[in-house]
Amino acid sequence: MTRLKKALLYILIAYLFALGVRFLLYYLASQHPDFIYDDRIIAIWTADGGLHGHYAKELLAGHHLDFGPDTALGYLIYWITKSGSLSLDTVIFVLPAFLASLIVVPIVLIGFELGLLELGFLSALAASIGMNYYFRTHLGYTDTDILNYVLFYAILYSYIALAKRGSILFGLVALLLNLLFLQWYHSAKPLVFGIWLFFVLYLLLFDRKNVGALLGAIVAFLAFLPLNPWVIVGLGGVVTAIFWYGSRRFGIDYRWILALFVLGALGGGWYGYSHGFYKRAVEYLNKKEAYVLKDKAQRSVELEATLKTVAEARGITFDDLALYSAGGMSLFILGSLGFLLLMIRYKEARILLVAYLITLVSLRAGVRFSTFGVPVIVFGFFYLFYEIYQKLSHKPFAKLVLYLPAMGLIGYYLYVIDGYNHLLKPFFLRGEVAALKGDLNDEKRGYILTWWDYGWPLWYYTNKRTIIDNGKHHYDNYIIAKSLFESDHSFVANFDRFFVEQYDRIYPWAVLPYVIKKEPIDRLLARLKESSLGVKKRNK
């Protein structure tokens, strides 16, 4: 069997393994009465699932939504539901298993490029179910994360193959993957651009004479141009053809290509900086303490920022980082040592360092970023024992040095998953779903005033709007907090009615800044209070 055929076989086996492990939750959920509604497992297990499910319902009802990173997953759910025989709820629940398990493809291919195919296979088995990667991609976790890490590592693979083979065609592959990630995830730009910059740095430090890789990196950058994606694909094909033909026809000295590359890299870096590609990353690293508004009287209205209160966006300890990325401190240390050895032995593996560095960023930016390190730490863990195996290869027990730790790590992850699955539950249980769909789910447009955590799931189950939701929870949090904690019911009725009417005019934008620019907030509250007192007097 050729190495390529073996790689494809490994990918298939690893994919089926990752898929099968995820469907263990399907069995558990199907046995729990509170997880079943209308003879199906409840679809929404995370807030994000409510958003993408809501978009799919809108599309199935015939409404138009602009296609983009915010709606891409909703469109995918819609297409699958419309073209198949599965219900919308079933598609929402099971889709993460089929997409997230694709992580095995780039991991096996990275092993293939490095000449470590078996290690790539073992790493794919373990990483596909490893700690925070599983926690963020289990059944019901219908979020863009189910493909984010797949695309991230696919891009890394394309750059490793580009550097290893020196073929400009892999620059075109990187361009296509960059575009796909940018169209899939609304916060992909700093990630994709960061990978590109890291690859540029790698080439300048370690591979300056690799003409194909230098030209391929220029092709990959085209994904960031403000053009229609199909235009970029066409442009990428033309530029790739020109570079490929020119490099073979004219035999230009690599130093001229390097000079062109340096100019292009400087220009690309300036372009990314001037267009604010880094801003989303800065928001995670330097979270705002408060939002400050000015009302009509030019007085400041200060509201506490919410990003710092989101659990997955808060900084974590080093112990947490080790736990979520590897499964514990000892595993993290062994994996890190092995990864260091891997980078020393295989130059192209240094491109993977960007994933490890992003994992360290989770110490400040939040636990979700630890997920990026799961595959590289697992790969490093196996490589460490592979090095020992190589030293003892003449011994009859040598293979046990590699395969026993592999079986142990995979077994440990399966043990963790079994315990974790028993802790999971839908966002709303059976009785709550029945109440929402029975009492609030009608054709009339309306509003539900609730805290932002419940926004998107309520969109899915009730077809109603909320003033704040899981994606928009800053200025207008004041409105909901004021409404929920106010004891004067007449005032609350006037207050809620006023802000709902105002919000209906400017939907979906924040309404508080819009209102207080017209009237100082203290005067507005006093007016609504007086109106409620008038109602009370008339009632008496």
Q: How confident is the model at residue 313 (pLDDT cuts 50, 70, 90)?
A: low
Q: Is the pLDDT of residue 308 over 70?
A: no
pLDDT over 70 percentage in the chain? 96
- The distance of Cα 433 from the centroid of its chain, to the nearest Å, equals 27
Question: How would DSSP label each residue in 435-500?
Answer: HHHHHT-SSS--EE---GGGHHHHHHHH--EESS-SS--STTHHHHHHHHH---HHHHHHHHHHHH
Q: How confident is the model at residue 309 (pLDDT cuts 50, 70, 90)?
A: low
**Distances in whole angstroms, Cα of residue 395 to Cα of each of 50, 89, 382, 392, 534:** 56, 54, 19, 5, 92
Q: Is the pLDDT of residue 500 over 60?
A: yes
- Prediction pTM value: 0.93
pLDDT of residue 438: 81
Q: How confident is the model at residue 535 (pLDDT cuts 50, 70, 90)?
A: very low
Helix (H, G, I), strand (E, B) or coil at 279: helix
| Segment 74-101 mean pLDDT | 96
Q: Is the pLDDT of residue 289 over 90?
A: no
Q: Is the pLDDT of residue 312 over 90?
A: no
pLDDT of residue 297: 79
Q: Which CATH class is domain 431-539?
A: alpha beta
| Segment 123-148 mean pLDDT | 97
Q: Is the pLDDT of residue 307 over 80?
A: no
The ranges assigned to domains in the chain are 148-277, 312-391, 431-539
pLDDT in tens, 240-260: 999 888 877 777 777 888 888
pLDDT of residue 519: 87
Query: What are 6's strand-pairing partners?
Result: none
pLDDT in tens, 460-485: 999 899 999 988 888 899 899 999 89
| Segment 514-524 mean pLDDT | 88
| Segment 282-287 mean pLDDT | 71
Q: Which helix (H) or strand (E) holds 127?
A: helix 117-127
CA torsion, points 109, 113, 115, 121, in degrees to nearest 10?
Answer: -10
Upstream peptide bond of 508 is cis (omega within 30 degrees of 0): yes
Averaged confidence pLDDT in the chain: 91
pLDDT of residue 417: 98
pLDDT of residue 161: 98
| Segment 293-298 mean pLDDT | 80
pLDDT of residue 22: 98
| Segment 132-146 mean pLDDT | 97
